[in-house]
Every structure is written in structure tokens, then in C-alpha cells.
Amino acid sequence: MVVGDFPIELDTLVVGAGPGGYVAAIRAAQTGQKVTIVDKGALGGVCLNVGCIPSKALIQAGHRYEEAHGASEMGISADNVSVDFSKVQEWKAGVVHKLTSGVEGLLKGNKVDIVKGEVYFVDQNTVRIMDEKNSQTYTFKDCIIATGSTPIEIPTFKFSDRILDSTGALGLKEIPEKLVVIGGGYVGTELGTAYANFGTEVTILEGADDILGGFEKQMSSLVKRNLKKKNVNIVTKAMAKSSEETDNGVKVTYEANGKEETVEADYVLVTVGRRPNTEEIGLEQVGIEMDERGLIKTDNQCRTNFDNIYAIGDIIAGPPLAHKASYEGKIAAEAIAGEKAEIDYNGIPAVVFSEPELATVGYTEQAAKDAGFDVRADKFPFAANGRALSLGSGDGFVQLVTRKDDGLVLGAQIAGTNASDMISELGLAIEAGMTAEDLALTIHAHPTLGEITMEAAEVAMGTPIHIVR
């Protein structure tokens, strides 16, 4: 590529190569567009490199280590179980490398041009892309912005060698003896659980009334109970006030129940949310409309106030979920191609890889009532399922939220083993407009966890087999 003062003309430009951007680029190419994708970082973005994938790898390693100690209730015990954490990190890095290499192959296989560098918007059809050595002007017909988000830094807890964001917590070279987690959302809960499974003494400080505030209390209470079994100290209504770093750790001062307390740890993990990456890339200069939080305003096709510029993922309204970004990327790419694709968020699930796992899709019972539906909510417990009991995982339930008059599935919540996998069937039910009867008539293999969904549907119909009404 020639670098110079003359603009290089592009068809469709995708800014950001995370799970939103690279998916958008591939779908745009599939519709016949000539696509260029640009990112200053590694392909795959936060999710593949320092987020979803490495965190789940670390969580799985923690599970394996915990399981290796045996299960006394099953008559299994083990001695001298050890962990080489450098090997854990090496294995985790290998998982990440396989996926990021795969993304590059997919982009090239779909004839998407890849450019490395930082983007600055000049006007509605022009960007400047800069790397360490060069700066080049590009013009584009259409653009999809997918620049993602960054962890929020608390002024009194500046990120350092001892005060970490999620990236730092995933890259530790040793298992800490003590860890303080500020923020009991899904990231803090997941990583706190992972390290607790490795034997770390974990303290979670949460400012709200409860951890995992986006989930119903009947779900989060199961997670809290299991965290306490792992000796995790959960302090709610706690305000982290200051930190004092030493050569060997950090002392955290916080306020809870009107009292000032301190706790010492090797590291502090700050997980209080993320901010959109919409600053200092020229969006204000172009005139792209944003809200007070820096989120770009879009329509139901992810289009901004400019007809040829789209935005997806963490930089627009909605939860910062990788699969939401991918979904929006497909919508934007298809909209550019002239297709009638539109956003429908009702079938997007949210998952926490806690113990037990939590998953929700569509309406909760209360949200459905608030929306004006006359609904019922029916549960079937994991404890009444043969496969769950054989796994030693009887905690949890599947709950269906259905419309009373016809049984239409409006939402579902799962707390239990493999909830992350089970929720997809219920997302499909919502997307396809299925009823509880449709789910109940679907023959599920025995013995499987999937049967719990069928049984919950039978409860909703008033004809349960394996529990007494």
C-alpha cells in the first residue's frame, strides 16, 4: 500500500476488530462489499485477547484444580494436588492464540483488507489512520464504528502493578494469597470465583445492596451461598475509599454500615464498569450524536445521525456483551447492503460464568408485568433431574415466564450447571414465538440437563410429571 498525501478510496470501512467489528466485516464481505478493517490492537479485540475467552479459560482451570481435590460425598479423595500457574497461563495463552489466528484467517478468507493503526475521523467520508511511522488519509462510502470499551478507573484506585483491571488480573504470574475485588458484577464475581478455586482468600466489595445486580435475587443468592462456601467475604453497601500500596501488597480502606474498615491483599481488582471508546477519535468534529455517557445514538439498524456511518457494540446503548456486538455487526452490514435487517434485542441472553452459572433471556416476571403482560412464572428444580444429581449439581432451577392466555414464552431464567449452554434453546423459543406447549412436546434425550426445560414447560401447562403441583 502506498503511503502518501493522496487519499486511498475505500468501499466499506470497519473501525475496530473485536467481536462486533470482525463479524461486521465478514458479513459485509459476504454481501458483496469490498471491506477494510482497521484496529490498533490485536485482532479479536478485548473479548478474544483479554476478556471473554481468557477469563473462561482461567475459570475452567480453577474448576479443574478444585475438582482434582476429589469429592468426599462421592467417595473420592486426592492428596498432594498442585498447580503450576505458569503452565495455566501458558495454556490460556494458547487458547487465545488459536482463536485470534482463526479470526485473521477468516478475514483474509473473506477478502477483507486488514490495516493496523489508530483512526481519527476528519469528516463524514474521511478518516486519518496513523501507526508508529506513517499517517494516511482514507475516504469511505460507508463506515461501521466498533471501537469497544475500556475499564473504568476509580480516581482513588489508579491502575498499577498492584491495582489491576480485568486484563491485569488475567495476566498474573502467580496465584495471590489474598485478593480484594471492588465491584460484584459479573466480571468481579467470575474472576473472584476463579481465584477462590485456586485457594486465594477473596474479599468482594460491592456498593449496591447485592452482588450481580442485573439478575433476580433468587438467582444471585445461589451464587452468594457458594461463594461463602469457598470462604469468599462479600461486603455489600461498601464504598471503597482509598488504597495504600506497599512493597508486598495493598491496604484498602472502605466504609460499610457506617464504619470505616481496612483489608489487606496482594492485589486489588477493580471491576466497576466500562466506558465507551468514543473519545479522541474525531466523532465530535464530524458531528456524530452521542449521549451524556459518550454512547453513540443509533436507530434500529445501528445507523448514526449520518446515513453512511453505523455504530455497534459497547459504544451504543445496551449491555456490553460480545454476542450483542456480533449481532449488531451483522445488522449494520446487512443494512449497508440494502437489506431490511433490524435490531430486536428481546432474544439476547446474558450469562454469568459463576457457580452455579446464571443465564437470562427475554423478560423477567416483573419486567413482563411492567410491560403490561398478564404472565405466570413457573420453575423446575435441578434437584429433580437425574443428570444434575449424577453430576453432583442439584442447585438451581429453570424458570419460564409465559403469557397466561396462550402460553407464549416471553422470557426465561436459569441458575445451575451449564446454564450458559441451556439458555440458547429458550432464546430460540422466544425468537420463534413458541409456547410452553411447543417446548413440552419437544422430546428431550434422557438423562440430560435439557430435560429441565421440558419439565418447566410442563409445569407452566399445569401438567408436571416429576414434581407435585
> Known catalytic residues?
446
Helices 451-461, 419-431: crossing angle, 10 deg rounding: 50
Q: Are 460 and 407 within 8 A, CB to CB?
A: yes
DSSP-derived 3-state class of residue 454: helix
206 is in an annotated binding site: yes
DSSP-derived 3-state class of residue 148: coil
148 is in an annotated binding site: yes
462 is in an annotated binding site: no
Contacts of 352 (CB under 8 A, 6+ apart): 186, 189, 190, 212, 215, 223, 358, 359
DSSP assignment of 170-225, as one string? HT-SS--SEEEEE--SHHHHHHHHHHHHTT-EEEEE-SSSSSSTTS-HHHHHHHHH
In the block, cell 475521523 appears at 121
Q: How far apart, in whole angstroms, are the C-alpha atoms of residue 249 and residue 434?
A: 54
Backbone angles phi, psi at 30, to 5 degrees: -65, -25
185 is in an annotated binding site: yes
DSSP assignment of 127-140, as one string? EEEE-SS-EEEEEE
188 is in an annotated binding site: yes
183 is in an annotated binding site: yes
Task: Give the largest Cα separation in the chain, rounded.
Answer: 76
Backbone angles phi, psi at 225, to 5 degrees: -60, -40
314 is in an annotated binding site: yes
149 is in an annotated binding site: yes
Show the cell assigned to 446: 434422557
260 is in an annotated binding site: no
- Cα 9 to its chain centre, rounded Å, is 35
147 is in an annotated binding site: yes
433 is in an annotated binding site: no
- Per residue in 284-308, is it b (16+ CB within 10 Å) or e — as a string? eebebebeeeebbebeebbbbebee
- Please write down the long-range contacts of 261-265, taking CB distance under 8 Å and 24 or more positions apart: 261/235, 263/180, 263/203, 264/178, 265/176, 265/178, 265/179, 265/180, 265/203
CA distances from 326 to 18, 123, 314 (A): 9, 26, 11
Q: Are 267 and 162 within 8 A, CB to CB?
A: yes
Provide the residue type at 61 as one letter. A
Closest by CA to 374, choosing from 401, 346, 412, 347, is: 401
Tell me whether residue 107 is exposed, middle or buried, using C-beta atoms within 10 angstroms of its C-beta: 0 to 12, 13 to 18, 19 or more: buried
330 is in an annotated binding site: no
450 is in an annotated binding site: no
Contacts of 35 (CB under 8 A, 6+ apart): 11, 12, 13, 14, 25, 28, 29, 110, 111, 112, 113
Please state the residue numbers annotated as binding site for FAD.
Answer: 56, 147-149, 314
Please state the residue numbers annotated as binding site for NAD(+).
Answer: 183-190, 206, 273
Please state the residue numbers annotated as binding site.
Answer: 56, 147-149, 183-190, 206, 273, 314
